[in-house]
Amino acid sequence: MPSSNARTLTALSVAKLKPAAVRLEIPDAGCPGLRLVIQPSGAKSWAMRFRNNGKAAKLTLGPLDLSGKEAADQPRIGYPLTLAAAHALATDIKRQRARDIDVITETKADRKRRRDENMERASNTFGSIVREFIIKYRTKKWNSRPRRWRSDAATLGLRYPIHCDPAKIEPEEIEVLKGSLAATWADKPIAAIDKYQVEAVIEDARKHGSDSRARKLYSVLSVLFGWLPLKYRVAVNPMIGVKRPGPPSSRDRKLEPSEIVLFWKACDSINGVFGSLYKTLLLTGCRLREVSGMSREELNGVWEVPGDRSKNHLSFLVPLPQQALDIIKSVPLPHGIGHNNPPEPIELSGLIFTTNGKTPVSGFSKAKKALDAEMAKVAGRPIKPWRVHDLRRTFSTTLNESPDDGGLGIAPHIVEAALNHISGGAKSGVAGTYNKAKYLSEKRVALERWADHIEGLVSGRQAKVVPIEAAAAAKHGRG
């Protein structure tokens, strides 16, 4: 092995020594056995050479420290070492060998111990625990309810690909949401999280998100820390003593007819995917998650909403009115798809409301602000605050109200069926056990009348209200 003659090393000479085309080992005359190792790349480190049980042995001490500052603690193998620290460590190793301590075996054992400790710390960080929680608890406990575990994962900051098995997917395929707990607490040891940190993140979720988001985060964290094996993960559950955010105040907000007109015109103005999405929400009365995940595979004469996107985890049928079908057909393709000549081959997911062809559209908060701004612009004045879920309440209320009150007079059990509710008298309790009717024809008539009602409002003409029984009979050629 190439080497040079021993020389008395100084801090200045160590810093000035240049690399060669081959690896160099320079013995330090001031400390027998100590070597300065210089790699062709210029990297410098310390090592010792001696006889161990009659055989030549080498022990790497650590990289060269050129900071010129001595550490406050004792020099240790594996850490950066100044010339003085390397001398002190080499002297201590010689003393241990004089006491018949096998420093090489001890060093290997210490390295393995540190490596195991690092692995244990890494496996007990919040980022790794969250993924383990989703795999070992959430997906097992709610195996038939993927909507639940996906929602919990997103609340903690992980977005999984559609139709994936969390136990089989690679970590790099999971999207870590920016600013989420999975991002900010990624490397935080789970045992280091205390009550005050939990309270801070819940308050932040309330302040910068909403009360409902704060409640959701509290709920998911409670389940997470309650699931952790306390004997080796955390000594004290940090959720103990954390106050649960209060329940939401009941809402009765619905859009008035004039607001529906503003809403519709604003959707025309913002256009694109979000304009069509919001119109579809109003026309169907469905929830945001149900509509945003709509795919072409679900449209077969009627729209079949799968249970993994519905709140009660039950699939249901939505007979889309022609206005909704026309809107769906008009949704623009994701940017860059179908605009090239020839078009580039892109594997599409079949999603209707998407901006990349692979995942459902996102960014609802920003889109809602843009919609509100456009409504105010159309109105020429500030608008009364409203939420996306108020569209569903508007749908339900108008369908239920009598024509004398400006409604459509749809039978309550039909409205409940259209909303996929099972709490109404026709579907709850014993009645629900025997009543499996889907009311498809009645729902079709109800949704068509609702679409005509909206079209009448927007166009300024009065929609013709026909009793639902007569409309259903006419649909089937009776009467």
User: Where are the chain's structural domains?
Assistant: 11-118, 126-227, 257-475
Q: State mean pLDDT over 423-427.
A: 51
Residue type, 382: P
The packing angle between helices 468-475 and 440-459, to 10°, is 110
Give the rounded percent of residues in the chain with a pLDDT score beyond 70. 84
Q: Are 287 and 392 in contact (CB under 8 A)?
A: yes
- Is a pLDDT exceeding 50 seen at residue 347? no
Q: State mean pLDDT over 182-186.
A: 91
Instruction: Residue 226: name the closest of 242, 211, 240 by CA.
Output: 240
Give the rounded percent of residues in the chain with a pLDDT score beyond 90. 49
Confirm whether 11-118 and 257-475 share one CATH topology.
no
Spatial strand order in the sheet of 302-305? 299-300, 302-305, 316-318
Question: In this predicted structure, what is the pLDDT of residue 82?
Answer: 94
Question: In this predicted structure, what is the pLDDT of residue 171?
Answer: 77
Q: Say which CATH superfamily domain 257-475 falls into.
A: Intergrase catalytic core (1.10.443.10)
Q: According to the CATH classification, is domain 11-118 in 1.20.1260.10?
A: no
* Separation of alpha carbons 98 and 3, rounded Å: 27
Question: In this predicted structure, what is the pLDDT of residue 438?
Answer: 73
* Separation of alpha carbons 255 and 220, rounded Å: 33
pLDDT interval class at 231 (50, 70, 90): low
> Which of 113 and 23 is assigned the larger pLDDT?
23
83 exposed, middle or buried (CB, 10 Å; 0-12, 13-18, 19+)?
buried
* Separation of alpha carbons 332 and 326, rounded Å: 12
* Separation of alpha carbons 256 and 58, rounded Å: 84
Question: In this predicted structure, what is the pLDDT of residue 103?
Answer: 86
Question: In this predicted structure, what is the pLDDT of residue 436?
Answer: 43
> Which of 380 and 251 is assigned the larger pLDDT?
380
* Separation of alpha carbons 103 and 349, rounded Å: 60
The conformation of residue 183, written as its DSSP 8-state character, comes to: H
Region of residue 105 (phi > 0: left; psi between -120 and 50: alpha; otherwise: beta) = alpha
